[in-house]
Chain A
């Protein structure tokens, strides 16, 4: 008779429980009404079951977002865990929607659920992908924009994981600056 070992039937638990949110830009509704929780998961297997079941970012309509956040943190600046934080922001050009967007987003998800940022993983709140006509964006949100050491380390590791060239700079911006900006650009607190 065949023996089934525990490794064959137990799911692999993640360090954190994560919530995947979907934002659909319906102008007849308010911002929070357009934000929907899709599902929560806390094992490797349940992550893939969800990921394999939903559309890739490149297939979403313009104005839509996916957000993956630790359970208990809402994907908005106003959440207590986000309000002092900021984001590593990657802006993609239009061509990259076909070449890089889905690959970068999956890599971002794997960084988060696998706790890729070593001792700084606790700083991570979540990640967001915005699908926009002018160019898509992917960002990793962290909880404290003053925590330079953690932020820079996360940024460097993230860039490595995405396979970005050394010349390609990504910037970190505080949510405070992003929400109060008057023009279309926000100053970078850090860049790697």
Chain B
């Protein structure tokens, strides 16, 4: 299926990405 992400899900990763 399509990989759809809502805004809250996406926003939840904003600062996780920087720390990994």
Contacts and interface: CB of A to CB of B under 8 A. Distances in A.
Interface of A: 12-15, 44-49, 51-52, 107, 110, 113-116, 118, 121, 161
B2 A110 contact: no
Contacts of A15: 2-4
A52 B13 contact: no
Contacts, number: 56
A12 B17 CA distance: 11
Chain B interface residue bracket vs A: 10 to 19
Contacts of B11: 110
Nearest to A115: B4
Interface of B: 2-7, 9-11, 13-18, 20
Contacts of B4: 15, 114-116, 118, 121
B1 to A, nearest CB: 9
> What 7 A-B pairs are tightest by C-beta distance, nearest first?
A48-B17, A114-B5, A15-B3, A45-B17, A115-B4, A110-B7, A49-B17
25 contacts: A13-B3, A14-B3, A15-B3, A45-B13, A45-B17, A45-B20, A46-B17, A47-B10, A48-B13, A48-B14, A48-B15, A49-B18, A52-B14, A52-B15, A110-B7, A110-B10, A114-B7, A115-B2, A115-B3, A116-B4, A116-B6, A116-B7, A118-B4, A121-B2, A121-B4
